[in-house]
Structure 1
Amino acid sequence: MLQDWQSVNLLHRNREKCRSYFIPFSDETKALTYERGNSERFKLLNGIWKFQYAETPQEAPADFYKNEFDVSGWDDIEVPHHWQLQGYDKPHYTNVNYPFPVDPPHVPTENPTASYQRDFYISDEWAGEQVYLRFEGVDNCFHVWVNGHEVGFSKGSRMASEFNISSYLHSGKNTLAVRVYKWSDSTYLEDQDMWWLSGIFRDVYLLSRPSSHIRDVFIRTDLDKGYEDATLKVDIDIENTVDGLNVEYKLVDAQNELVVDESLEENFHFQVPVKSPNKWSAEDPYLYHLVISLKDKHDRVLETIAQKVGFRSVELRDGVVLINGVAIKFKGVNRHDSHPDYGRAVPLEHMIKDIELMKQGNVNAVRSAHYPNDPRFYDLCDEYGLYVIDEADVETHGFETIGNINQLSDDPKWEAAYLDRMERMVERDKNHPSIVMWSLGNESGNGVNHAAMAKWARAKDPTRLIHYEGESRELFLGGKRKLDPSVSDVHTTMYTGIAEMEEVGQYTELSKPHLLCEYAHAMGNGPGALKEYWDTFYKYRRLQGGFVWEWADHGIRRQNVEGEEYFAYGGDFGDQPNDYNFVIDGLVMPDRTPSPGYYEHKKVIEPVKVDEVDLEAGKVEITNRYDFSSLDHLALSWNIEADGKVIQSGVLTLDGIGARVTKSFTIPYNLPKPLARADYRLNLQFTLASATAWAPVGHELAWAQFMLPQNAKSTNEVQKLDTVTIDEVDSFLYVHGVNFEITFHKILGNVHSWKCEGLELLQTGPKLQFWRAMIDNDHRSESEWKNHGVHWLQQRIDQVDFQLAKDKTSVSIKVVQRIAPPMLSWGINVVLTYTIYGNGDILVDVNGKPTGNTPRTLPRIGLEMTVPQTLDQVSWYGRGPGESYADSKQANRFGIYKKSVDQLLTNYVYPQENGNRTDVNWVTFANGQGMGMFISGTPAFNFSAHYYSIGDFDKAKHTHELTKKDEIYVHLDHQQHGLGTASCGPDVLPEYELTTQEFTFNFRLTPFSL
C-alpha cells in the first residue's frame, strides 16, 4: 500500500467501470423530478466527518480503519471541502511550476495525508441490494475501507470513483474510512493553473441497486442531412442480465407530451425515428426526457432512470464547426470550479449563479478548464444553454520549466494514465447535449498519449469533435501555420494577437477552423481590445471565436486582525514557490461581482448590431447575430436624450428578423431643434420581452447609441466678467475677485489655494502627472517606464510671469518648467498658462515638448490635484456609468451620470489604476449643499477621483491595505495608455498606445453653487 501513490501503472484497485452520471429511482414519477432527494436508492454522505491530519503517510494512524479504532478524540471536518481551507496544511498557488522536485513518478516524503471516518446507517430495505459508494471528486488519490475491510483505491482528482461495497455492509450502523494523499504520481498530470487544494471536495453518496440494474446508458441524437428529422439511438448496459428482463422507455417533450413509448427484451440497444424534434442549441436549449425502466419477468419495476435529451448535431464541414448545420461563433469563457470559501467544493447555487451571469453577459460557451467540472454543472449547461468543451484532467505544464514539455505525453509508459482520464470523462459526461467537443487536456505538450486519447474517444463517441491546443501550438510556433493538426479537429491557440488572427483568417490552405481556447487575459484592469478581436472573428468564417481567460478570480476570502475582508492569492499563506496574484484573472471577482471587463465583453459579443443609415430620417440597420433565434424574444425601446433628459421615446417590435438577418428600420422620432450646449443622442435598447431561467423581463442584452446630426457644440466662452486684482507678496501671488480668492505659489509654479464663497475648492495642484498606478497588464511596459524614471519625475520651475488684462477682468500666469527624472537627461519642457477670470474661472492651457532619449510610451498625460473630501458628489457628461479606458470603453454609453467618490472606485483584488472615465466633456465635484466646481476640457478628456493616491495603489497589495485619505485625488487626463492584455497576452494595440510626443490640451475650472 505504501507504494500505491507512486506506481504509474496502478490507476485504481477495485474501482467500478466508469459510467454515465445518473441517479436511479424507484418509479417514473420520481425519476422525472431529477431530485436525488426523491430517490429511496440514494443516500448522501456529505456532512461532518471525523478527521486526522498527518505530514506524511507513514505518520498517519495505521489502523484507523479498523472497527475497534477510537476516533472520538479526532477533529471534525466538513465534507465536501478542502482540508487547507479548514485549518490544516496551507493553500498553495502555482501556475506552471510543480511545488516539488520534478522527478516522476516520485513525490516528496512530506506528503500530507488525511484520515477521514464517519458512520452511516443501512436500512433493512437495502439488505440484499447492490450498494455502491461513489466519490465525485477526491484530490489527489485515496484508499477506502468499510467496516474494517479494504474496499479499493483510486487516482484522478476531478473524476468519479465508484466502488461496490455490498459484501462489506450490514443493517444498522456501518463505518466508512478514507485516507487521502496530497501527492502521487498522478499529480504530475494535474499541474493546472490553480490552488493546490486537497481532500474530499465533491459529493460522496451511496446508491442502492437491485442485483440486475441499469449499469450505463449512452444516448445519441443523429440528425438527417437537412437537420430536420432525427434518430434517437440508445445503448443500455444491464448489470447481471437474467432471463425475463425487459426495458420500457418513454420519450416525452418539455410539455410532458409522449413522443415515443416502447419496450425491449434481451437486446437493450434501440434506435427510433423522431419527426421534426425541437433542436437543442445554446440559444434555445430545448430538452426532452427519456425515461428508462428496467422490469423483471413479473413485470415489476426494478429501477427507473431519467435522462434529459437534446437533439443536436456537431460536425466539421467546409472548414468550420457546425452545430445543427450552422457555423456558430463561440463566445466563451474558461471556467474552473472555484468558490472564495470552499475552493473547488462548489455548492450548486454557486454554479447556478455562474451560469446566470454568463447568460446575462451574452456568453454562449464554456471550456471546463482544465478538468471535468462537477457533474451537476453540465446538467445546468444543458438546461440553461451553453456549448461546452469538456476538458480531460491532464496538464503537465511544469515540464516546460525543465525544458521538456512532451516528457510524459510522449512516453508510452504513461499511456494508460492518460487514457484513464479520457475514458472516465467521456463515459461520465457522454449524454450531455451541451458538450460539443472533448478536449485532451491543457498545456501538456504533444505526443503519442494524446493520439491514443483521441483515437479512443473517436471510437467511443464519433458524434463530437476533438480539441487540443498542444498540437496547434507546435504548428503555430514551429512556423507550420498552414498545416492542419492531425489529432485535433480544430486549430486552437492561446493569446494569438489580432494581426496574426487576421493573417490566419485569410488562410485558404486549411481545412479546419481556428479557435482561441484562451485569449483576452482578464487579469485586474482589463482586458483591452476585445472589440478588435471580435471585429476580426466576425470578418472570417473560419475564425469561430474564443474563450476568455478566465471566468472568475480565484481569491480565497480572508479577514485581517481588524476584521477587514480581503481575497488572498499566491504567497499569502507562506506558500513557496508561488505565482503571486496570477490566480486573480477573471471577468468576475471571487464573490461574483462583475468586473468592468465583464461588461465590456458582454457589449462586444452582444447579439444585436445596429448601424446608422440616415439618422436625419431615423433610418438604421439592425443585424441579428444569433445563430438560430429570431429577435422576437426581445423588445426594442428607443429614446432621444439631451443633457440627461429624455425628450422623446417609443417602443418597436422586432418581428421577422431571423437569425443572421439584417433588416432596415425607421425609428419614428422628430429630429429636435438644436439647443445651446446640448448634444442629442439616439439610444436603442434591446431587452428580454419575457422572463427566462437566467434573467427577468427587461434584462438588457444589447444597446446602441448615436449622436444625432442636429447638435450644438458647447462653448467655454465667459461673459459679463467682474474685475480682478493681483498682489505679489514674497513667494505668492494673490488673485482676488468678487467672490473668490486664489493663492498662487511662484516658486512651485502651481495653485496653492482656491476659495470661492469661503469654500476651499483646491488643496493642491493642478500639476502635471505622467505616472499611473501599475495595472497587471502594464508589466511589459513597466520596466521601460521605470528604466526611464517615469515613476519619479521631478519638476524644475524655470520661469513664472504674470500679467493683468487691460480691462482687469482676468490675469494670466505663465509657468515655464522642465519635468525630468533623476540620473537621466531626457525630459519634457512644459509651458503652463493659468488664466484667472473675474467670475472665478481658471483656464489651464498646457503644452509639452519631450526632449532627449524619452521612453517610447507614457502611462498617462494629465493633471493631478487634490480637493477637500467634502466635494465627494461627482457628476459628469461622457461615457459611463462604469470604468472605461481607450481600448475598453464599448460598454459605456454617453450620458450624464452621478456617483459618489466611493462609487467611482473599482475595488480590484490587487489594487491598481482604476475608475477612469473616458470621452468626458465636463465633470463636477460638489458638496452636499450643491457647491463645488465644474471642469470642462478641450479636447474631451479622462477623469478619475479617489481617496487614495497613485502611491497608495502602487504600494497596496490587497484591498484592506488601502487607507482612506482626508482629501480626494482628482486626475484630469489628456490621455492614458491603453490596457491591452499583456499580463498573459498581446500588449496594447498601436492605436491605443500613448506615445511620447508633443501634447497640447486645456481645462477650465469653474466654481458654482446650485
Structure 2
Amino acid sequence: MSHLPEAALIFHEDPGPGTGRRAPRADFVSDAPRLPLNGRWRFRLSGTADGTGPSLPDPGLDDTGWDTIRVPSHWVLEGHGDPLYTNTAYPFPIDPPHLPDQNPTGDYRLRFDLPPTWPSGRSVLRFQGVDSCGTVWLNGELLGHSKGSRLPFEFDVTDVVRPRGNVLAVRVQRWSSGSYLEDQDMWWLPGIFRDVELLSRPEGGIDDFTVRASYSAGTGALLVTSDTPGLVEVPELGIAVPTGQEVVVGEVEPWSAEHPRLYRGTLRAAGETIALAIGFRTVEITGGRLLINGAPVLFRGVNRHEHDPDRGRSLDRETMIRDIELMKRHNVNAVRTAHYPPHPEFLRLCDEYGLWVVDECDIETHGFIYSGWEGNPPAEPRWRDALLDRIRRMVERDKNHPSVVIWSLGNESDSGSAFADIETWIREHDPTRPLHYERDPSYRHSDFYSLMYPSLDDLERIGQRKEETPSDVVAGSPDDVRRRGLPFLLCEYAHAMGNGPGSLVDYQVILESYERFCGAFVWEWIDHGLAAVDEHGRRYYRHGGDIDYQPNGERYCLDGLLFPDRTPSPGLLELRKAIEPVAITVEGSSVVVVNKHDFATLAHLGFRWLVEVDGVRVAAGMLSVPECAARSEVRVPLPDAVDAPAQDAAGAVSRLASSGGETWLTVEAVLAEDTRWAAAGHVVAWGQTRLGPGTPARPKAHQPHAVASHRDGTVSLGNATFDSRTGRLTHLGKLALDGPTFDVWRAPTENDHGQGPRNALAADWQAAGLDRFLHRTGPIEHPDPHTLVVHGRSGPATRTLGFRTTCTYRWQDGALHLLVEADPVGDWDDTAYGHLTLTPPRMGTRWSLPGGYTDVVWFGRGPGESYADSRAAARAGRFAGSINGMQTPYLVPQENGNHVETRWLELSGPGLPTLRVDGAPHLDFTARRWTSEALQAARRPHDLADSGRVWLNLDHGQQGVGSASCGPALPERYRLEVRRYSWSMTLTVVRGS
C-alpha cells in the first residue's frame, strides 16, 4: 500500500493540468464490458486541502462512520456546505496559482467488485467530470490527478484493479489552480458531478479513432482512421473497408440540423464493436460567409449552461432530452455550450435530434479583469500546458460528432500567446471546423468576428461591414482588414433576465438582412435557480444573494428563457415567434409564404387557416402550399371563404361583420407528421392579417341620457357615482369601485435596473420620485348636463416635475365614456437623473375593484403578456383567463402580465356584475391582486399576498422591456416620451360576455 505522498498535497496548486492520465481520446459507445461506478459512495468534507489526511487511500481505513453521498452530484447540493455564485469575480484572492487555506475538500471512497465475467485485458477508469481538482487512488496506489472540471480524464488500472475488494479513493478540492481557468458566470459547484465508470479495453482493440465524413454536391466521402487497424462497415451504404481507406459514396443525404440524417455503422477490432453514427457534412468559410454543405446557414441559437434546480450540473439523459425537445419546439436550431463542453450524451442527442453546436472549451479567466488583466493565464507561459490540455480533451472527445460545427476556444479570457498555440494545435488536428474566439480584439485566432450585446444600430453597421475599429486595433491594419472580411457570429445577445428580452424581432430582422451574419445565441437557456424550502414548507429557488458569502453575483444567475423547473418563460415564446423558420403574410389577394429554412423544403409542414370576427371563429380550412425550396417564397391565393365570409352556413360571419367587428385571418404552419421532438399538428410558425376595416362590436345598453346630479357629497352621471370632493368614480351601477389614480409607475424589471450604474433606468426613476407620486384634485366642472370634468395634478415631493391631468366623463348610450389627458410640467430635463430626458415607465390609470373578481375575457393580443418591444408572440384574438393565472411568476417579482392593443375586456366574479371596458381604439391592461408597490417590495413570488382587492391598470401604454440587465440601453422608440398624452375608454356594467 502506498501512503499519500507529500506531493499530492500540492497537486491542486500546481498550474499543470494533471498527472498519470491517459491521452485524451474520442468518446464512443462500445459493446465492450463497462462497469458503472455511480451510486452511493462514502464521503467526508474537510475544511482544508489536506482533506481527512494521509490515510484516505488506505484500503484498511474504517470509513463506516462517514456519510454517504450520491455520485454523480455536487456535495453542496447534498447537504455539505453551500453553493456559491459569482458572475465575473473569483470567490478567492487573485494569487495564481495559489488558493486560500480555507479550501473545502471532499474525500470519497467506494468499494466494488468486478463482475465474474470481466475480461482479462486492459481496464480503464474514467471520470467524466470532477470539479475542480481530483486526485485518485485505487487499492492504495496513486493513479494521478486532473483538473479541467467539465472534461473527462482516464487512468489505466490494468495492473491495479482486482477481482474483489477494490477500494477507490478520490480527493476533490473545491478550489485549485484549475479554478483560475473556470470563472464562467455560474454557481461554483464542487464534487464528482458526472459519471464514473470502469471500461474494459480489449488487447489489440481500438482505443481512439477519427471519423471524417464530408459532403459535396450530393456525394459523400468517408474516412475512418484509428490507432489500431479495424473494419468499418456501413450496411446502408454498402461499405465494408479497413480503417484508413477513404470511400466516396454517391447520392448520400447530408446531415443538417433540419434533417439530421445519420448513417449507422460499426467499427470492429479485437472482438469489440464500436457504434458509428455518421453524418455527412462539410463546414467551410468562403467569401466571408459560413457555409455548411455548400449553403449559408443562420444559427437561431441559445447559450446553454448545464443546470437543474436540484442536481446542479449533474444532469441525467432524460433532462437533456427535455431540453432538446423544448429547443426544437421553440424553433431553436443551435446551441453554444456556454462555457464548457457538455456531458457527451448531450452531443449524441444533438446528432440525433438535429442541433448545430458551437462546442466551447472549459476556459474562462474573466476574474482577472479586477487585476487589470495582470497575470492572465493565456498570457503567462506557465499556464500553456493547462490551456492546451483542455483544448485537446475537448477536441479529441467530441471530434466525431456531426452536430459540432465550430470549436470555440473559450470565453472572456482577454488575449495572450496561448491562443496562438491553441489555434495551431486545432488546425493541425482538425482542419474540418472553423474556430471562434470573441474576446481578442485582433481576431487573429478566430474565423469569425464576434461580439456580445451590440445595439441594433451597431449590429446594422456590422452587417454592412462598416463597424467601428476596435480600440486596440489600428484602422486599416491587416487585422482590421481581415476582421471586416470575416463572417459575424453574435455569440451573446438578448439577455433573458426577468421580464424580457425585448427587441428580439428587431434583432432577427437585421440578422436576416445581411449575408455576413451566420446567426446569434440568446443568453441564456435556463434560470440558474437552486431549489430550497422555506420555513413554511414552500419550495422556492435560491440565487447568489441568498448565500451568506462575499462576493456573490446576487440574482444575476436568473437570466434564462426557462424557469428553473423548465417551464418556458414569455421570453422563450417571443423568441419562438421571432426566429420561426417560415414567414406568413398577406399581400393583396395572396398569402405569401417565405421559407427561411437553410436546407429543408416545406414538404414536412401542413398549412391551416382560420377566420375570426371579433375573436370568434367563423371559418377554417387547409391551405394548399406548393413545393417551396429553402430560402425562397411562394404565393397562394386567399381561401374562397376569406373573400366571401357571409357564405358561412351559420351566418355568424355576416352578423358579426355587419356589426362592425374586426375580421382576422390566421395561417399556421404545422408539422404534417410526428417527429422525435413533437407530434403532428405542432405549430412551427404562424401569421395573422386583419382583413378590411371595422372596429370591435360593443354591447349597447339601451338607457337614456342622464343629467348630472348632486347628493350627499356625490355626483351622479347616469348610473355612475363620483365623490364630489375628489372626483373619483365610486360606483358604476351596482359595482363599487375606486379610481382612477393617475399612474406612471411599474415595479421595475431586471432590465429596468440595468447593470450596475449602466442603463439604470429604475434608479433614475426613483431618484426623480416617479415611484412616489402624490395627487391633488383641482376643479371639478360640469360643462353640460351629461359631462363631468375632473382636473388634477400629480407629482413627487421635492420635485416640480409631474403631470396636469384632466379626466372628462360623458354619459352616453347607457355607458360611461372617459377621456384621460395628461400634460407634463416641471423639471423633467434635470440631468441629475442620469439622462438628458427622464422618461416614465407607464402612462396610465389604476383602479381598485372588489377582490371577488376572478376572471377576465378580452379581445386583443394574447394569451400571454406583451409589451411594446415584446409582442410578436401575442396573437390578436379573444382570450379568457383567471386573474391569478395572468401573473408571470418571475423568480424576482417585477412588472408582468401586461397586454397591449386590448380592444375590450370583461372582468367577472361570483355575485359581481361584469365590468366591461372598451378602448378607443386600444388600451394596455393588467389585472392583479396586489399593487405595483407590493410587487416591487416582494423578494419572491410567495411573498405576494392577496390584498383583498383587484388592481386594474387601464393604460395608454408602458415602455418596452429591453435587455439592459446586460446589454444596450432600451431603444428610444420603445420609451414613453415626456409629452402630452390622451387616451379614451368606455366603462359599462353588463350581464355577461
TM bin (shorter chain): over 0.9
The alpha carbon displacement at 1:925 in A equals 0.4
2:826 corresponds to which of 840, 845, 852? 852
In structure 1, C-alpha distance between the alignment counterparts of 2:910 and 2:278, rounded to whole Å: 59
| Structure 1 residues 816-855: aligned runs within 5 Å | 816-836=791-811, 839=814, 841-854=815-828, 855=837
The alpha carbon displacement at 1:362 in A equals 0.5
Structure 1 unaligned regions, length at least 5 = 27-40, 239-245, 296-300, 476-484
For 1:790, the aligned partner's letter is L
In structure 2, C-alpha distance between the alignment counterparts of 1:952 and 1:233, rounded to whole Å: 65
In structure 2, C-alpha distance between the alignment counterparts of 1:402 and 1:7, rounded to whole Å: 20
For 1:817, the aligned partner's letter is G
What is residue 855 of structure 2 aligned with on the other side? 873
Residue 79 (1) aligns with residue 53 (2):
no
Cα 1:711/1:819, change in 2 over 3 Å: closer
What is residue 982 of structure 2 aligned with on the other side? 1000
- Residues 723, 838 of structure 1: 8 Å contact kept: no
In structure 1, C-alpha distance between the alignment counterparts of 2:414 and 2:375, rounded to whole Å: 5
Alignment coverage as a number of residue pairs? 944
Cα 1:820/1:155, change in 2 over 3 Å: same
In structure 2, C-alpha distance between the alignment counterparts of 1:623 and 1:307, rounded to whole Å: 37
- Residues 675, 712 of structure 1: 8 Å contact kept: no
In structure 2, C-alpha distance between the alignment counterparts of 1:793 and 1:355, rounded to whole Å: 47
- Residues 406, 444 of structure 1: 8 Å contact kept: no
The alpha carbon displacement at 1:354 in A equals 0.4
The alpha carbon displacement at 1:804 in A equals 6.2
Once the two structures are superposed, residues 597-646 of structure 1 have per-residue CA deviations (whole angstroms, 9 ceiling, x without a partner) of 101111011111123221xx3x1221110010000100000111112222
For 1:796, the aligned partner's letter is R
Select between 3-12 and 946-955 the one with higher mean Cα deviation: 3-12
SS at match of 1:401: helix
In structure 2, C-alpha distance between the alignment counterparts of 1:876 and 1:713, rounded to whole Å: 11
2:455 corresponds to which of 497, 500, 505? 497
| Structure 1 residues 435-454: aligned runs within 5 Å | 435-454=404-423
Residue 645 (1) aligns with residue 616 (2):
yes
Residue 148 (1) aligns with residue 170 (2):
no
- Residues 670, 681 of structure 2: 8 Å contact kept: yes
The alpha carbon displacement at 1:745 in A equals 2.5
Instruction: Report the TM-score, using the length of structure 2 for normalisation.
Output: 0.93
Once the two structures are superposed, residues 948-994 of structure 1 have per-residue CA deviations (whole angstroms, 9 ceiling, x without a partner) of 21112111121122122211111111010111110001122221111
The alpha carbon displacement at 1:784 in A equals 1.6
The alpha carbon displacement at 1:402 in A equals 2.2
For 1:857, the aligned partner's letter is T
Select between 457-466 and 57-66 the one with higher mean Cα deviation: 57-66
SS at match of 1:983: helix
Select between 117-126 and 335-344 the one with higher mean Cα deviation: 117-126
The alpha carbon displacement at 1:258 in A equals 4.8
Residue 20 (1) aligns with residue 26 (2):
yes
Once the two structures are superposed, residues 635-666 of structure 1 have per-residue CA deviations (whole angstroms, 9 ceiling, x without a partner) of 00011111222222111233411111211111
In structure 1, C-alpha distance between the alignment counterparts of 2:804 and 2:614, rounded to whole Å: 38
SS at match of 2:226: strand
What is residue 243 of structure 1 aligned with on the other side? none
2:580 corresponds to which of 606, 625, 630? 606
Structure 2 unaligned regions, length at least 5 = 1-6, 467-480, 646-653, 754-759, 829-836
What is residue 52 of structure 1 aligned with on the other side? 44
Once the two structures are superposed, residues 345-377 of structure 1 have per-residue CA deviations (whole angstroms, 9 ceiling, x without a partner) of 011100100000000000110000000011100
Cα 1:60/1:802, change in 2 over 3 Å: farther
Once the two structures are superposed, residues 168-212 of structure 1 have per-residue CA deviations (whole angstroms, 9 ceiling, x without a partner) of 122122111111100011100000010010000001111112222
What is residue 731 of structure 2 aligned with on the other side? 754
SS at match of 2:594: strand
- Residues 610, 617 of structure 2: 8 Å contact kept: yes
What is residue 194 of structure 1 aligned with on the other side? 186
What is residue 157 of structure 2 aligned with on the other side? 165
- Residues 12, 133 of structure 2: 8 Å contact kept: no
Residue 660 (1) aligns with residue 631 (2):
yes
In structure 2, C-alpha distance between the alignment counterparts of 1:66 and 1:59, rounded to whole Å: 14
Cα 1:646/1:715, change in 2 over 3 Å: closer
1:794 corresponds to which of 774, 777, 783? 774
Once the two structures are superposed, residues 358-410 of structure 1 have per-residue CA deviations (whole angstroms, 9 ceiling, x without a partner) of 00000110000000011100001000000000000000011112221772221
Select between 126-135 and 585-594 the one with higher mean Cα deviation: 126-135
In structure 1, C-alpha distance between the alignment counterparts of 2:572 and 2:53, rounded to whole Å: 49
What is residue 955 of structure 2 aligned with on the other side? 973
Instruction: Report the TM-score, using the length of structure 1 for normalisation.
Output: 0.91
The alpha carbon displacement at 1:58 in A equals 2.7
1:908 corresponds to which of 872, 877, 890? 890
Once the two structures are superposed, residues 883-918 of structure 1 have per-residue CA deviations (whole angstroms, 9 ceiling, x without a partner) of 100000001110000000011111111110000111
Once the two structures are superposed, residues 225-278 of structure 1 have per-residue CA deviations (whole angstroms, 9 ceiling, x without a partner) of xx321211111113xxxxxxx5222013xxxx352013x3xxx42211111211
In structure 1, C-alpha distance between the alignment counterparts of 2:54 and 2:557, rounded to whole Å: 37
What is residue 628 of structure 1 aligned with on the other side? 599
SS at match of 2:246: strand
In structure 1, C-alpha distance between the alignment counterparts of 2:157 and 2:338, rounded to whole Å: 33
In structure 1, C-alpha distance between the alignment counterparts of 2:797 and 2:160, rounded to whole Å: 78
Once the two structures are superposed, residues 522-568 of structure 1 have per-residue CA deviations (whole angstroms, 9 ceiling, x without a partner) of 11000001111111111101022200000110101111111111111
Cα 1:863/1:406, change in 2 over 3 Å: farther
- Residues 678, 713 of structure 1: 8 Å contact kept: yes
In structure 2, C-alpha distance between the alignment counterparts of 1:103 and 1:406, rounded to whole Å: 9
- Residues 405, 444 of structure 1: 8 Å contact kept: no
In structure 1, C-alpha distance between the alignment counterparts of 2:230 and 2:364, rounded to whole Å: 41
Residue 278 (1) aligns with residue 253 (2):
yes
SS at match of 1:369: coil
SS at match of 1:791: coil
The alpha carbon displacement at 1:3 in A equals 4.8
- Residues 915, 987 of structure 2: 8 Å contact kept: yes
SS at match of 2:926: strand
What is residue 704 of structure 2 aligned with on the other side? 721
2:239 corresponds to which of 235, 256, 260? 260
Once the two structures are superposed, residues 318-342 of structure 1 have per-residue CA deviations (whole angstroms, 9 ceiling, x without a partner) of 1011010111111000001100100
Identical positions, percent: 39
- Residues 635, 689 of structure 1: 8 Å contact kept: yes
Select between 580-589 and 921-930 the one with higher mean Cα deviation: 921-930
In structure 2, C-alpha distance between the alignment counterparts of 1:405 and 1:959, rounded to whole Å: 43
Select between 169-178 and 380-389 the one with higher mean Cα deviation: 169-178
Once the two structures are superposed, residues 759-812 of structure 1 have per-residue CA deviations (whole angstroms, 9 ceiling, x without a partner) of x342x312110000000110121122112111111111222234661xxxx3x3
SS at match of 2:546: coil
The alpha carbon displacement at 1:290 in A equals 2.6
The alpha carbon displacement at 1:126 in A equals 2.2
For 1:676, the aligned partner's letter is S
1:534 corresponds to which of 501, 508, 512? 508
In structure 2, C-alpha distance between the alignment counterparts of 1:450 and 1:910, rounded to whole Å: 39
The alpha carbon displacement at 1:669 in A equals 2.5
Select between 691-700 and 647-656 the one with higher mean Cα deviation: 647-656
